[in-house]
Amino acid sequence: SETTWQNGTAKDEEMKYFTRSDSKSFITTNWGLKINDSDSLKAGERGPTLLEDLELREKITHFDHERIPERVVHARGSGAHGYFQSYGDWSNLTRAKFLSDPSIKTPVFVRFSTVAGPRGSSDTVRDVRGFATKFYTEEGNFDLVGNNIPIFFIQDAIKFPDLIHAVKAEPDRSFPSAASAHDTFYDFVSLSPETIHMVLWVLSDHGIPRSYRMMQGFGVHTFRFIAENNDWVFVKFHWKPKYGLGSLAWDEAQKISGKDPDFHRRDLWEAIENGDYPEWEFGVQIIKPNMEFKFDFDLLDPTKFIPEELVPVIPLGKMVLNRNPDNFFAETEQSVFHIGHVVPGIGFTNDPLLQGRLFSYLDTQINRHHSANFQNIPINRPVVPIHNNQRDGFMQTVVNKGRVAYYPNSLQDGSPRLTPPSHGGYKTYGEQTGGRAFRGKSPSFFNFYSQAQLFYNSLTQIEKQHLINALRFELGLVETMSIRTRMIYHFNYVDHDFASQIARIIDVPVPTAIYANLNNSSPAVSIEQYSRNTIR
């Protein structure tokens, strides 16, 4: 097959076609004219410089336009090329071809990122890490746009702009009100109880990875695998690092941040340059359709994970990253990932966060690239041909031939034809939909603290201490006392001792113990009641 190459993947070969090694013997303008590139054209030996100097103007103009907007989130990232190889034939689970044959090496490009900081921020900050993988499969690109934490802060995409506005720099001063923690973030999360589970993960050692090579990856949402005969299962995607999971201690992270803000970027680059190729195992948790309502949380709720004790992760294949980009901007910066890019055999669910993401990525990428043609940029192009009737637009680099750009037509042979699923075309899983329009949360989404408690209880003593120390530090930097108090209110539902240990240090009242049924949607004491009684 075209994607099995001995020395690199089909994508590597394609990238070579677009790579330019600059000549050492001469320099030209962008239009091929050989020039002297280091002296501007002057009227006389001591100037002034002439407007006529197109060589100067072209060079400066290009420079003036070198930056594109950074990603609105996940602005800082590092990428690498590699390949994915299936362990076997999984066609009983999914008709996705890249999972059907262990002899196929599917090219991949992975971008790791932090979420909150701008493009020039430091690597070792406490934050969620993005783990986005583009599989250039024989059936088109599949993007698995995940994170290093298996759950998310919010349950509904409509809150995403609020979450990000709260976590990024404050709009009036353009810096967060204290080091990495700040009033706006904890204000938002203290008023959004669904975030508490993820807050614990981020404030634990998972929030400061040792290396991108030592990070897990998760698709977060529940997806679908659909087999050729249309049998389907729910799946959760997992990446498990061959190196195992590694974190920095908070003190180390802060020191490294000062000495080498590029620590993770350098680590990934050097490992690959030295032939120490990072590797992950790809696995899925499989949930049969008849199990959909058998959990004490909703499978569509992205603030919940499925404990591996309940549903084990089945390893399906491995990914190796073995080549650094030739050019950071052309590849890592210009790459686009979209949760909606799937191949036959992979489908979505009604998770309301996932549904909002399906809209957001293309929209933001058109903004970032000022064009609808960024799929033609080498790093984004699939390794299979693109045929459709889309035309024109800024930066169109493809020369489409013929007089016909519509379907159906009778004027031109070879114009794109519709591809029925029987010929390998994508087939949407025919989920039953319907019901009255409803703006709100399903009652099954009101279970806020049970998995936060499960997570806390799963930590070892030293990991608990790290989490407590991190929260004492971060909440101690929050200036508004009512925000600190609200955070303790939530933590009291997770674990009374945990909440008390933090409360004592950050100078807010120690709450009384609550023995609540955590799966019950209405807490024993309402947050308003609690705040009234305790806020000074």
Residue positions annotated with a catalytic role: 74, 147
Which residue has 């009512």 as its token pair?
482
Cis link prior to 176 (omega < 30° from 0)? no
Minimal distance, residue 146 CB to ligand HEM, in Å: 5
Minimal distance, residue 256 CB to ligand HEM, in Å: 22
Total residues binding ligand HEM (CB under 6 A): 28
Instruction: For residue 320, give the nearest of 100, 142, 133, 144 by alpha carbon.
Output: 133
Read off the amino acid at residue 143.
D
User: Using the rule CB under 6 A, which residue among 165, 242, 368, 441 binds ligand HEM?
Assistant: 368
Window 150-169: contact mask with ligand HEM (x via CB under 6 A): --x----x--x---------
Segment contacting ligand HEM by CB under 6 A, of 313-321, 355-363, 377-385, 458-466: 355-363
Please give the distance of CA 479 from its chain centroid, rounded to a whole number: 31
475 part of the interface to ligand HEM, by CB under 6 A: no
Instruction: For residue 172, give the nearest of 164, 184, 160 by alpha carbon.
Output: 184
Q: Binders of ligand HEM among 280-309, rule CB under 6 A?
A: 302
Q: What is the distance between the alpha carbons of residues 451 and 307, in angstroms, rounded to a whole number?
A: 10
* Closer residue to ligand HEM in complex, CB, 130/511: 130
User: Using the rule CB under 6 A, which residue among 11, 71, 126, 134 binds ligand HEM?
Assistant: 71
Window 207-246: contact mask with ligand HEM (x via CB under 6 A): -------------x--------------------------
Minimal distance, residue 67 CB to ligand HEM, in Å: 14
Q: What is the distance between the alpha carbons of residues 93 and 346, in angstroms, rounded to a whole number?
A: 10
Q: What is the distance between the alpha carbons of residues 170 and 173, in angstroms, rounded to a whole number?
A: 6
* Closer residue to ligand HEM in complex, CB, 280/498: 280
Note whether 404 and 414 are within 8 A (CB): no
Give one DSSP letter per residue of 275-308, joined into a string: T---EEEEEEEEE-GGGTT-SSS-TT-TT----T
User: Using the rule CB under 6 A, which residue among 74, 81, 168, 304 binds ligand HEM?
Assistant: 74
Q: What is the distance between the alpha carbons of residues 301 and 441, in angstroms, rounded to a whole number?
A: 10
515 annotated ligand binder? no
Shortest Cβ contact with ligand HEM: which residue? 130
Instruction: For residue 22, give the nearest of 2, 8, 10, 37 by alpha carbon.
Output: 37
Q: Binders of ligand HEM among 102-141, rule CB under 6 A?
A: 111, 113, 130, 132
290: left (phi over 0), alpha (psi -120 to 50) or beta: alpha
Minimal distance, residue 361 CB to ligand HEM, in Å: 6
377 part of the interface to ligand HEM, by CB under 6 A: no
* Closer residue to ligand HEM in complex, CB, 126/357: 357
User: Using the rule CB under 6 A, which residue among 365, 485, 501, 534 binds ligand HEM?
Assistant: 365
Q: What is the distance between the alpha carbons of residues 345 and 11, in angstroms, rounded to a whole number?
A: 22
For 446-485, what is the HEC assignment? CCCCHHHHHHHHHCCHHHHHHHHHHHHHHHHCCCCHHHHH
336 part of the interface to ligand HEM, by CB under 6 A: yes
User: Using the rule CB under 6 A, which residue among 4, 85, 327, 360 binds ligand HEM?
Assistant: 360
Segment contacting ligand HEM by CB under 6 A, of 206-214, 255-263, 322-330, 350-358: 350-358
3-state secondary structure of 68: coil
Q: Which residues bind ligand HEM (CB under 6 A)?
A: 71-74, 77, 111, 113, 130, 132, 145-147, 152, 157, 160, 220, 302, 335-337, 353, 356-357, 360-361, 364-365, 368
- The binding site comprises 361
What residue numbers does the annotated binding site for heme cover? 361
